[in-house]
Amino acid sequence: MNQLFRTKSIQDILKAGEEKPLHKTLTTRSLIALGIGAIIGTGIFVLTGTAAANHAGPALVLSFILSALGCAFAGLCYAEFASMIPISGSAYTYAYATMGEFIAWIIGWDLILEYLFASSTVAVGWSGYMVSFLRDTLGMRIPEVIASAPLQYDIQTGSWSTTGSMINLPAFLIVLATTIILVKGIKESAFFNNVIVVVKLAVVLLVIGFGAFYVNTENWVPFIPENTGKSGQFGFSGILTGAGVIFFAYIGFDAVSTAAQETIDPKKSMPWGILGSLLLCTILYIAVSLVMTGIVHYSKLNVPAPIALAIDATGASLAWLSPLVKIGAIAGLSSVILVMLMGQPRIFMAMANDGLLPAVFARVHPTFKTPHYSTILTGLAAAVIASLFPVTFLGELVSIGTLLAFVIVCAGVIYLRKTKPDAPRPFRTPLVPWIPGLGILICGAQMMGLGVQNWMRLGIWLAIGLVIYFTYSIRHSKLRKA
């Protein structure tokens, strides 16, 4: 039991990071761009329509605000830890310094659900937009047999079936291409991400700026539609359920913290990168949801591309914007894949440095100074998953894992303030324990709303992780051997 909950000192964590240095090239601006690159993607381009049509109506704005509050509270906690421990590993490293090796392993294993499966999920969405863009804009038709998942999942029954397709080849290829970029180097990856962020921000701002002139305020009445008699379908319960659905739209801001070891001044830049990207994206989400539900009645938005539908509804005057929306969606999803695939290898690297995973995961390329083995392994795994499984199944696995990570990080701030009150904190989470407590409450409530099946899958995933920990990791732990 003592071994399970032994913590690693912050000084040892920082010293270990210095032994395997990574290129320090990221600035505050780069981190904010990474955060925006991770956040703006599937949520704004896909899930907004579903949440508005089925759950919240025009009050989707309130769902975004509620979900953003939970992320903001968790983000403040992430910022404190990232400034204290500017080392690759994110929540895994923070847990190791506060609650011990066993909790650190659980959260590290749990983060695979966020980063690995999120990159696969977004790759499937990228494939759909790319196939649509090539067909509608360039007249190129990719056969469905090589452009969709061969497996199909029924959410209602939990059953599987085949679709007749062989492979989702576009999803497979985009993950491989992104992996190559990441192996090449963090500077090149950040530049690629910055270019994409500029493109998709320009498209989002065009939608807001031009779409605002076509808003019909009657579509906002009633702003909170009456409940249909079923919990989660409009009314205030619909706003809460909508917040859970569009929570996926905020997944990724914590990926900024995984790049701490490659940041020039992490103690100063990390809080700005995490909170700045979260704030900017929340403002954009609110503006887009208002414009979208103002142009088209919320009941018509349950489509795969709700923003494109809203622009098409304006008629010929904004027809020029429709292909740009698809380009923005493709760019947005591309940058999410990039940041997610960047985060996971750095979690593996941190765990391998502690002996909890084989040493090969911690190897750094002599020229590129990137964790190339873990990056290649992550990329290949994500590519295979994206090529075989549907977006509905993959998306369900992501949110619950991310929320659990947020809960543990918030709890870690409270615990460390009591156990190590004098530890240097360049950035301090305000109003402790209230802010972390609210983060635990809001994120925990969203976890409870995700359903029994998701909890069962999380339990199975954690059980697999426990087998690995007790058969390999605990025996090879460097902390145990110390």
Least confident residue range of 39-53, 246-260, 296-310, 466-480: 246-260
Does residue 423 surpass a pLDDT of 70?
A: yes
pTM (2 d.p.): 0.78
Does residue 446 surpass a pLDDT of 80?
A: no
User: For position 335, which CATH number holds?
Assistant: 1.20.1740.10
pLDDT tens column, 93-132: 778 877 888 988 988 888 877 778 888 878 887 887 788 7
Residue 442 lies in a domain: yes
Does residue 322 surpass a pLDDT of 90?
A: no
Which of 154, 192, 186 has the alpha carbon at shortest distance from 174? 192
Q: What is the average per-residue pLDDT within 13-22?
A: 61
Q: Which DSSP symbol is given to 226?
A: P
Does residue 294 surpass a pLDDT of 90?
A: yes
Binned at pLDDT 50, 70 and 90, residue 448 comes out as: confident
Residue 410 lies in a domain: yes
* Long-range residue pairs from 364-369, CB within 8 A, at least 24 positions apart, any chain: 364/20, 364/22, 365/183, 368/183, 368/184, 368/185, 369/21, 369/22, 369/23, 369/185, 369/186
Domain extent for 267: 24-481
Residue 382 lies in a domain: yes
Report the C-alpha gap between 218 and 274 in whole angstroms: 37
Residue 19 lies in a domain: no
Q: Which residue has the tokens 């949440």?
A: 51
- Residue 390 near residue 124 (C-beta atoms within 8 A): yes
Q: Which residue has the higher pLDDT, 3 or 286?
A: 286
Residue 12 lies in a domain: no
CA dihedral 350, 380, 175, 462 (to 10 degrees): -50
Residue 2 lies in a domain: no
Q: Which helix (H) or strand (E) holds 159?
A: strand 159-162
- Domain total for the chain? 1
So what's the pLDDT on residue 91? 74
HSE value, Cβ hemisphere, 13 Å, CA-based, for 206: 21
Cα–chain-centroid distance for residue 293? 25
Residue 75 lies in a domain: yes
Residues found in the chain = 482
Radius of gyration of the chain (CA): 22
Residue 9 lies in a domain: no
Q: Which amino acid would we find at residue 361?
A: F
